[in-house]
Amino acid sequence: MHAKLQRRQALTDARRSLVLDAARAVFLEAGIEGASVREIARRAGYTPGAIYSYFESKEAIYAALLDESIQRLQSAVADAPVARDGPGQALAARAQAWFDFYAANPRELDLGFYLVQGMRPRGLTSELDHELNDHLYQALRPCEEALQEMGLDADAALRENTALFAHGVGLLLMQHTGRIRMFRQSADALFKAYVAQLVQRVDGGSRQPGLFGGTVQPDSTDT
Amino acid sequence: MHAKLQRRQALTDARRSLVLDAARAVFLEAGIEGASVREIARRAGYTPGAIYSYFESKEAIYAALLDESIQRLQSAVADAPVARDGPGQALAARAQAWFDFYAANPRELDLGFYLVQGMRPRGLTSELDHELNDHLYQALRPCEEALQEMGLDADAALRENTALFAHGVGLLLMQHTGRIRMFRQSADALFKAYVAQLVQRVDGGSRQPGLFGGTVQPDSTDT
């Protein structure tokens, strides 16, 4: 690339990043509905017109913010230390990576679950929402792969990975809101215990097929 | 009680309930910070002064709303059909009761976890927050008691009950936000599977002491 083009790209990236930082603050303060491109522009030191040259709408800014957050999550999981002592340890390392990412960045979890305004996906087109869901799914894939390496079939690995994610997200929610204090427990310790049990259960299951096979089977679908 | 006093009390209750209904709508739309007593009064058809004769502040209204919600949760858990076939089934019935309550009333979960404005307890005095935490803890106590009846000691029962609540809340969060769809799973089916496994694990554990005893032990406390 020409030096001039490179410089231009670097400037574009920097401006985009400034806009996203301003947007993050506005969304967390005002919610998705309460946020405006005008206010985001004001914080970033741009005119609304300048913002529209980078993003076509407020929703597009929100989606870009969330996508960037999921990319960081994906890197955290992908970069988790490779365990040489088996897929159980690989699973534990990768699961701990996403848990730690959200434990250290509670506002990313707010954004990722639309908690800036109640638990309702708002404003995103279903296409954008689908794309974000897919990226989050991909970010968590390494855990599912580890579960398959431990001997689970594809369906069981997906179910266990969903349950694992739900467990961690529930613990993080209780920690971030202080609700965990009413139980006098540690979210991190409970998460580690869940993962250890999962590893034990799946390893035991693969040695004794069918022992737990019937218990994770969904018996209905949500409406 | 005199008929006149009774009538007066009934009117007071009805007015209070009108105010709480209006407040619920305002909090869910505007968040805790964005809500105002003036707006709540407008929706309820009162003057702000009239509201202050029932509640001393916006935060007091929020706390009353949340407390009322937790009371309904408590009734749901307490009224779960009494299982005659052992504490494992009693646990399953009571756990399913709070899960169903929040599955049917997602906005109550929003309120209960302050999700109307990111996962941050805001505006409540620590005394009020402590009191609400205590009421929520009491609402979930029947599950803990069932775990003890199944043979767990008090510490282990508290840990398992915390993990159970986290698991369900995580699944509900994924269901309410539509995130569960990316995994193509059913929150209800996964919750039932978790409870079934818990029952199996604790029943198995009480027959073979120590088998899983070491895996739920917290090894640290949150900061």
Q: Do A215 and B222 touch (CB under 8 A)?
A: no
At B138, the amino acid letter reads: Q
Those of residues 123-162 in B touching chain A at CB distance below 8 A are 129, 133-134, 136-137, 158-159, 161-162
Q: Does A31 touch chain B (CB under 8 A)?
A: yes
Counting the structural domains of chain A, the total is: 2
The alpha carbon of B183 is separated from its chain's Cα centroid by a whole number of angstroms, namely: 26
Q: Does B184 touch chain A (CB under 8 A)?
A: yes
Same-domain check for residues A48 and A85: no
Check: CB of residue B40 under 8 Å from CB of residue B22: yes
- The pLDDT mean for chain A works out to 84
Those of residues 80-119 in A touching chain B at CB distance below 8 A are 106-107, 109-110, 113-119
Domain membership of residue A216 (yes or no) is no
pLDDT (tens digit, 9 = 90+) per residue, A53-81? 888 888 889 889 888 999 999 999 999 98
Q: Do A168 and B170 touch (CB under 8 A)?
A: yes
Residue A38 belongs to a domain with what CATH number? 1.10.10.60
Residue B91 belongs to a domain with what CATH number? 1.10.357.10
pLDDT (tens digit, 9 = 90+) per residue, B64-120? 988 899 999 999 999 998 767 788 999 999 999 999 999 998 888 888 776 555 545
User: What is the pLDDT averaged over residues B132-156?
Assistant: 93
The pLDDT of residue B218: 38
Locate the chain B residue with the closest alpha carbon to A191.
B163
Q: Does B218 touch chain A (CB under 8 A)?
A: yes
Same-domain check for residues B67 and B51: no
Domain membership of residue B111 (yes or no) is yes
Same-domain check for residues B13 and B123: no
pLDDT (tens digit, 9 = 90+) per residue, A32-59? 777 889 999 999 999 999 899 888 888 8
